[in-house]
Structure 1
Amino acid sequence: MKKEKMKFFGLADYLEEERFLEEQHRNGWKMVGAKKFGLVYVFEKCEPEEYIYQLDFKEDAQAEEDYFQLFEDCGWESFHKLNSWYYFRKKKTENEDENVIFSDSASRAEMAKKVMRMQWLVLLPILIIFFSVSSSFASNASSTVWTIVFTIYACFVVFLVALGIRTYWKLNKIIEDNKSV
């Protein structure tokens, strides 16, 4: 039996996403995939068990065989990929060091830095386009349709910038927390 559950997690919410997936598994539902840009999680009925879910952000697809082998050797099952995010799980053990895919805080901080770089690579072109369109708007400001379109686009850009600032703040906190460990 399968079920689908809609849930949104931003780029910086991967720790919350891991806890959500762990809770689902404890309740007898293991994640088997995602649909609709990762907004809909697909779960399959299973025995309720304590599983650890971990996500890793990998920008390039090179050397994936070695990458997966490393995790497999440590007991992790790779079961899903969404864009640059890789999903892993394994049965929880008493040894807390075995319940994390990153063996040190520097690795955790480095992953957060990769996510932050990716966010700016996406946001920067949107801002450049926005400022380019703004100059066109100034010359066509008398057109009602153009004003409506520009206003909608400006609201969208403000939303994306606010989301980017929130993501930056959360990722920076993760980086700082892992520097002090």
Structure 2
Amino acid sequence: MVRIFIDPGHGGNDPGAVANGLEEKNITLDLSLRLQALLEADANVEVQLSRNDDSDVGLSARAQLANDFGADYFVSIHVNAGGGTGFESFIYTSAPTETATYQTTVHQAIMQEIDVTDRGEKAANFAVLRETIMPAILTENMFIDTASDAERLTDDAFLQSIALGHARGIAEIFGLTI
């Protein structure tokens, strides 16, 4: 059984980035639920989310939930802000080689599904990446404060493509069928 932990960024009193009539917390939950459905199509996958509604979950609590679950992979889903465009992914700054290999697989699978600017594979000292004990990735899916990206984030087919890219990358890593 492969255990995947999905972390929809933000939630509850923390909306995340807000722009163009959108809130990051709502988009991340939507994407996470889509990803969960795609992964659970394989009977050999067990998925747990840090939240499945608009609730507050602290950063350390998210990591602890994943650790307690015994996850094989941790995926934190976010939407970017700051005036850019496109997709980027992050792993912990001192992550093992396996985590970097997983990042490349997931990143490339997402880029194959969505026609957007590739902002690259990066490393950062984010709490959810630092405090998890399994390979972990944080994805930044488009820019909520860039009008063209925000418009795409309201398109159902585009959101499904983002989720499918995540699912295909994870499936490739763990030999799953989606």
TM-score when scaled to structure 2? 0.29
Over alpha carbons, which structure has the higher Rg? Answer: 1
TM-score, normalisation: structure 1: 0.29
User: Which protein has greater RCO, CA pairs closer than 8 Å, 6+ apart?
Assistant: 2
Higher helix share: 1
Higher fraction of strand: 2
